[in-house]
Structure 1
Amino acid sequence: MDLDTLLSDLNDAQRRAVCLEGGRALVLAGAGSGKTRVLTRRAAYLIRFTGLSPFALLAVTFTNKAAGEMRGRISELLGIATSGMWVGTFHGIAHRLLRQHAEQAGLPEGFQILDADDQLRLVKRVLRARGTDENRLPPRQVRGFIAARKEEGVRPEAVVTEGHRYQQELLEIYRDYEESCRRGGLVDFAELLLRADELLAGDEGLLAHYRRRFQHILVDELQDTNAMQYRWLTRLIGEGTGLFAVGDDDQSIYGWRGARVENMDRLCRELAPVEIVRLEQNYRSTATILQAANHLIAHNDKRLGKNLWTSGDQGEPITLYRAFNEVDEARWVIDRINDWIEEEGYQAGDFAILYRSNAQSRAFEEALIAHRLPYRVYGGVRFFERAEVKDALAYLRLVMTRHDDASFERAVVTPPRGVGAKTLDAIRTAARAQNTSLWSAAQQLVAHKQLAARARNAVHAFLELIDDLEQRVAGEPLQHQAEHAISSTGLRHHYERDESRLENLDELVSAARSFAHEGSRAGGAEAHETEPLLDFLTHAALEAGEGQAADWGASVQLMSLHAAKGLEFPVVFLTGLEEGLFPHYLSADDPVRLEEERRLCYVGMTRARTRLCLTCAEVRRIHGRDQEARPSRFLGELPLETLDEVRPSIRIRLR
């Protein structure tokens, strides 16, 4: 392949980036600007036209899929085998280093990697060994604390607790966890990078070797690097190391998991001189969508700066719909999808519904099922299949019938109440022997004192809890029954440190309220033939079991804005644009977090190719209560000339 062929389908800015001579460069690659093409062509250019050995190139990405795609494209461009090249994720490259230098890293040769589930189980064992109450210190929270410290590059001895008792206890657990990992020759994901960095920092000869070996480093998605990734990466860069980093500060949306957008500016300062190349030509969206997105993101102060443009069509205005409530919002969105499929030849897979909170999916799922439109929840679980929702429903099912064994098994251990695996096995054994339900078997074991005292008391307390719950919900409106199943059983307390799960539990109360309202509106004799709670539980079971298509291409796609990054769709509905929801109420008063929320909105808008629809509601049920909603400030930051309000009689005050 000659140089003209390599560059033939690139624009001027892309060609400039690919052909930079040595040194260090930061490529600001806007949404839809062809960054993957530039990265792979850069690798091919370095190998074919500068004489760089394929094994002297280190390319770091964030996902195995991206790494595989890069290897495949380089192989296709150059006609060489790429299996031996150092192309991989941060964790994959770190793992490769540690395997080759396990002894120097203080690891056994056959060290094992813990995945997320294995790590959680190890945390639980550490907590049990310490006699720590999991209700007071949930294992997931402890795992998060440990991972966050490692991603900051901080070992237990370097953690500063300032005498805070709670932090001190977490620190002691961190020490015990590390000791358990050392004894078992175990390495979790965060440890891979931390240990690889410590290996290089502690062995000057080894560091010098790899600096000589990796003459040029390519980095994808620089804006998503955390403190540890940045430290490890820059440690590998020696005086003569070439660097080609690609990123977009306007698409940095993972601050909540440690990503530091400031790493882009920091790299320019610490590794100067760094040449900046901007990729601003967009090959995805219409000019109208880009105009609105540019105008929105310009409200962020701390940007390296760029302005997306397209040589394509102007496109139609962005539709703005203000719904009465979340039910009306879902109805309008699904009606538009249905109409455009029937009248304009769209396929179901052309549509994406994006939302800030996963709890918002419930109303859309119900509307899609009502219209018999197949759908998929991308990167997540359908509403009635989410663990915390199933937990609450299990209690309600036990209220309806004590002999629902599946619900018994779920409710008796969530939240933890002292009924362990051994006790549950004893109940199962008794149920099989007596050919009866788990509930009846548990009653018999308690009555005849056939369990150890501690286990017997725990089971007895659970049986009383269900009986008491039945008394509480008797005669109550359906939404109050759902709230009792969440609050009086301890589920709300159990999930109190997980905002998204709490939002889903609140949405279950809203779902019960909406279901009761629709039932009362239906009227007639049939509306009262069965118990409302039984009807609702049947409704939940049916919705959990249908609607989600097996084929992505044949289904409407529902997803959070975070999950949408890197994807694109002909038509995008960006929903729930209200203050407190988007931007999220936890971010509204924090300038740094507010800028990330604005970047998240920008990412959502730039997923759309030809049509973008924005929605908000006048009233939305949040945390179990109907609340008047104000339009998001982000709507007020869009140019009025790009918007088409489809309900002009109810104007939204955008300014």
Structure 2
Amino acid sequence: MLDLSPQQKAAVQHIRGPLLVLGGAGNGKTTVLAGKVAWLVRELDVNPTQIVVLATSVHATRELRRRAEERLGRKLPTLSVIGFAEFGLQLILRRFATLGLRPGFSLYDRADTEAVITRLLQESQSQVAALAGAVAEQIACWKRGFASPAFTTDSPDTSVASVAAWAYQRYEQRLLAANSIDLDDLVRKAVRLLTTDALLLSRWRDQIRFLLVDEYERTSACEHELVRLLAADGIALTAAGDDTRTVDTPALGPSDNLARLPTAIPNTRVIKLEQNFRCTGRIAVALSRIVGGAGGFSDVAPSYGARPGPPIRILQARNEQHEAEGIVAALTAHQARSGADYRDYAILFRDLDQAAVIERALRVSRVPYQLQGAPSFFAQSEIRDMWAYLRILSNPADDDAFLHALNTPRRDIGHATIERLTRFATTSGRPLLECALDPTFVKTLPPQPAESLRASVQLLVRLTERAAQSDPAEIVRDLLAELRYRDWLRDTCNDAKIAAQRMHNVTHVIDMLQRASRTQPEAGLRAIFTQLQLQALRHGAEDSADGVALLTFAAARGTEFAQQIYIIGFEEELSAATPSDTEIEALSERHLAYLMISRAREGVTFTISAQRRLGGALQTPRASRFLADLPPQDLQWISADTGQAFAENSLVNSTTYVDRGNHRSR
């Protein structure tokens, strides 16, 4: 532990009682957690199965495992480093009957939730059906916040809160009837089980000796309650969180959970990490200035023993294409000089739409890249098709999966038939699949829709009957053959290469089923699919190939890059607050800028464009007011044409003019 500061070493070796480690970005919190895992295993001979590490993101779990194994010098396959949702699902799988669930229950993501709420509103509150997305988000907020609607109503108005209050219990009833649970409920239901089942709680506490939690400032109220329940009876808790405050605004200060933890868990010791270990001196100063304005702020400490590092660069361009070309030219020149891997570079932007022009410039220069923050593998349409079939075969009560599967590929089952089936199922209180087989209902249909429905339902029934015994991969292959799914992709895709790629993705699902079957040869489709749902929760945990990381600001949280990061559009209208923003919104943008800059170890480049297309219109953005807070001597203005430094502002017009010396936007 020679590379640790005294505070870090004290945090690593603290094992008697709960501990809260506080520090800003780059202050060594992840190093403490990874170092603690390695120290416990190596020095105290703790069995890795007795250590649980929880985090709020896939990236954080991957990074924690990598660093812990790197410090220990060997792999830790039995160490549990997982997200809160996955932990909740693992716990629910042990007691799902207590929650009214049956074997093979489905797991709904946000798209599934929104689809259920859309149908619910269309059936009874059609005038507000367009609010389904906002209603789904409100319900998710209540669940994450360990709360319920403050009121109930049978006659909602047109506000999101009122419609969500009306829909909440009805949505829960739909989930239960469909033998399903949504992602936002995994931790909440796990807390409910631990609260009501003393034996289950005791067993989990017996299994865990050391509980480590990363990014505690990002935990929800449910996640905080889960930690509080587990961290008792001798379990040594170590939680790490970023308590960086933005100027003096309480609303953007330390998260409620950071403040609650010492009270919720008595005798919690607090260790503050005061120094920045990640960044160069100039970046550390920039972080201090960004957080606290031009006067700086004492909560962001200077870099620990680091050299000053290169100047912070502001790349000025004429337009977005010019900007992209300038970024790629600067990046490739730096990579050629340093010999670094491309994975040590990142390009950050607010919206995913901004990635297209950067991708084109990277492809032209044959620079490998990884677009992160884009829809995941499991969100691809063809994978959602397969997921729907796997869900209905594992859980015949899953109405959402049944409706998806019923017309994929599209058959002669029209909207009127589906509406009639839905009404019949609602009246009888039975799943759609069961009702579709009911002779009483079938007699109400015209001959052609009745035959199309019969053929589709019989296929599902045949495959469902095989699900318990047959090889899951074989079932899916037979399903694809009967559906002629490959032909359907070829017919519906405009490009043969796209169709082939989508079919390749489907084949990957079959491979996943095969691999899971080899490890559980006696398991049927239902058990295997449960494992795939767990895998979907931790998607993206595999190491990516070498390539420049393209990330949205949201996706960049928790990352760090050894060389350069490029922050696109450090402008009032895009990356900074606008004059019309409220004080809270402006401070939130300041904190976001702090988080983005802190991703870099070595160098930061901001870009400013004289023209940018925003909201479909060509605009002339203004340089960010936050540039005024940075020391002028630490800035270097460069041209996107040559990559060379020049007298500042020579490229910008009067709208983007930045006052020389003060760098203040006009």
TM-score by length of 1: 0.63
Equivalents in 1 of 2:187, 2:83: separation in Å?
Answer: 11
Q: CA deviation at 1:13?
A: 2.5
- Checking the alignment, whether the CA contact within 8 Å between 1:280 and 1:309 is kept in structure 2 is no
Which residue, 600, 608, 612 being the options, matches 2:604?
A: 612
Which residue, 599, 605, 626 being the options, matches 1:634?
A: 626
Equivalents in 1 of 2:129, 2:122: separation in Å?
Answer: 12
Matching residue of 2:22: 28
Which residue, 82, 85, 88 being the options, matches 1:88?
A: 82
Matching residue of 2:423: none
Matching residue of 1:469: none
Matching residue of 2:131: 137
Which residue, 555, 567, 570 being the options, matches 1:574?
A: 567
Q: CA deviation at 1:176?
A: 2.4
Which residue, 311, 327, 348 being the options, matches 1:317?
A: 311
Q: Which amino acid aligns with 1:652?
A: V
Q: Which amino acid aligns with 1:642?
A: D
Change in CA separation of 1:87 and 1:329 when aligned onto 2, cut-off 3 Å: closer
Equivalents in 1 of 2:274, 2:563: separation in Å?
Answer: 20
Q: CA deviation at 1:298?
A: 3.0
Q: CA deviation at 1:168?
A: 2.9
Equivalents in 1 of 2:204, 2:69: separation in Å?
Answer: 24
Aligned: 1:652 with 2:658: yes
Matching residue of 2:140: 147
Aligned: 1:557 with 2:556: no
Matching residue of 2:594: 602
Equivalents in 2 of 1:199, 1:298: separation in Å?
Answer: 44
Aligned: 1:219 with 2:213: yes
SS at match of 2:96: coil
- Checking the alignment, whether the CA contact within 8 Å between 2:577 and 2:590 is kept in structure 1 is no
Q: Deviations over 1:389-412 (max 9, x none)?
A: xxxxxxxxxxxxxxxxxxxxxxxx
- Checking the alignment, whether the CA contact within 8 Å between 2:243 and 2:254 is kept in structure 1 is no
1:374-385 aligned within 5 A = 374-380=368-374
Q: CA deviation at 1:306?
A: 4.0
Equivalents in 1 of 2:163, 2:275: separation in Å?
Answer: 52
Equivalents in 2 of 1:626, 1:573: separation in Å?
Answer: 22
SS at match of 2:348: strand
Which residue, 7, 13, 23 being the options, matches 1:19?
A: 13
Equivalents in 2 of 1:122, 1:427: separation in Å?
Answer: 20
Change in CA separation of 1:340 and 1:131 when aligned onto 2, cut-off 3 Å: same
Q: CA deviation at 1:246?
A: 0.9
Q: CA deviation at 1:203?
A: 4.3
Equivalents in 2 of 1:42, 1:323: separation in Å?
Answer: 46
- Checking the alignment, whether the CA contact within 8 Å between 2:245 and 2:299 is kept in structure 1 is no
Equivalents in 2 of 1:38, 1:78: separation in Å?
Answer: 13
Q: Deviations over 1:558-600 (max 9, x none)?
A: 2212222213141111121111312255x96344443332232
- Checking the alignment, whether the CA contact within 8 Å between 1:23 and 1:274 is kept in structure 2 is yes
Matching residue of 1:235: 229
Q: CA deviation at 1:193?
A: 1.1
Change in CA separation of 1:422 and 1:10 when aligned onto 2, cut-off 3 Å: closer
Q: Which amino acid aligns with 1:608?
A: A
Equivalents in 2 of 1:553, 1:209: separation in Å?
Answer: 40
Q: Which amino acid aligns with 1:567?
A: E
- Checking the alignment, whether the CA contact within 8 Å between 1:227 and 1:259 is kept in structure 2 is no
Change in CA separation of 1:302 and 1:182 when aligned onto 2, cut-off 3 Å: farther
Q: Deviations over 1:542-562 (max 9, x none)?
A: xx9xxxxxx965544322122
Matching residue of 1:196: 190
TM-score by length of 2: 0.62
SS at match of 2:82: strand
Equivalents in 1 of 2:615, 2:88: separation in Å?
Answer: 43
Q: CA deviation at 1:152?
A: 1.6
Change in CA separation of 1:236 and 1:379 when aligned onto 2, cut-off 3 Å: same
Equivalents in 1 of 2:604, 2:548: separation in Å?
Answer: 15
1:4-83 aligned within 5 A = 7-46=1-40, 57-63=51-57, 66-67=60-61
SS at match of 2:93: helix
Change in CA separation of 1:77 and 1:159 when aligned onto 2, cut-off 3 Å: farther
- Checking the alignment, whether the CA contact within 8 Å between 1:326 and 1:617 is kept in structure 2 is yes
1:339-378 aligned within 5 A = 339-340=333-334, 348-371=342-365, 373-378=367-372
Matching residue of 2:177: 183
Q: Which amino acid aligns with 1:148?
A: C
Change in CA separation of 1:68 and 1:610 when aligned onto 2, cut-off 3 Å: closer
Q: CA deviation at 1:225?
A: 0.6
Change in CA separation of 1:84 and 1:644 when aligned onto 2, cut-off 3 Å: closer
Matching residue of 2:435: none
Q: Deviations over 1:367-421 (max 9, x none)?
A: 4455554544222279xxx99xxxxxxxxxxxxxxxxxxxxxxxxxxxxxxxx96
SS at match of 1:580: coil
- Checking the alignment, whether the CA contact within 8 Å between 1:223 and 1:259 is kept in structure 2 is no
SS at match of 1:320: strand
- Checking the alignment, whether the CA contact within 8 Å between 1:22 and 1:242 is kept in structure 2 is yes
Q: CA deviation at 1:317?
A: 1.0
- Checking the alignment, whether the CA contact within 8 Å between 1:224 and 1:260 is kept in structure 2 is no
Q: CA deviation at 1:201?
A: 3.0
Which residue, 620, 624, 629 being the options, matches 2:616?
A: 624
Equivalents in 2 of 1:615, 1:80: separation in Å?
Answer: 42
Q: Which amino acid aligns with 1:613?
A: T
Stretch of structure 1 that moved more, 341-350 or 11-20: 341-350
- Checking the alignment, whether the CA contact within 8 Å between 2:290 and 2:296 is kept in structure 1 is no
1:368-447 aligned within 5 A = 368-371=362-365, 373-380=367-374, 425=411
- Checking the alignment, whether the CA contact within 8 Å between 2:228 and 2:264 is kept in structure 1 is no
Structure 2 gap ranges (5+): 247-251, 382-405, 415-445, 447-493, 502-542, 639-645, 650-656
Which residue, 301, 307, 310 being the options, matches 1:307?
A: 301
Q: Deviations over 1:613-633 (max 9, x none)?
A: 112234433223333322212
Equivalents in 2 of 1:373, 1:73: separation in Å?
Answer: 27
Equivalents in 1 of 2:8, 2:340: separation in Å?
Answer: 33
1:160-179 aligned within 5 A = 164-166=157-159, 167-179=161-173
Q: CA deviation at 1:57?
A: 4.3
Equivalents in 2 of 1:178, 1:300: separation in Å?
Answer: 50
Change in CA separation of 1:339 and 1:58 when aligned onto 2, cut-off 3 Å: closer
- Checking the alignment, whether the CA contact within 8 Å between 2:348 and 2:565 is kept in structure 1 is yes
Equivalents in 2 of 1:93, 1:304: separation in Å?
Answer: 37
Equivalents in 2 of 1:297, 1:276: separation in Å?
Answer: 23
Q: CA deviation at 1:157?
A: 7.4
Change in CA separation of 1:76 and 1:335 when aligned onto 2, cut-off 3 Å: closer
SS at match of 2:565: strand
- Checking the alignment, whether the CA contact within 8 Å between 1:375 and 1:557 is kept in structure 2 is yes
SS at match of 1:137: helix
Change in CA separation of 1:368 and 1:47 when aligned onto 2, cut-off 3 Å: closer
Q: CA deviation at 1:221?
A: 1.0
* Count of aligned residue pairs for this structure pair: 493
- The CA RMSD measured in Å over matched residues stands at 4.6
Change in CA separation of 1:251 and 1:573 when aligned onto 2, cut-off 3 Å: farther
Q: CA deviation at 1:80?
A: 11
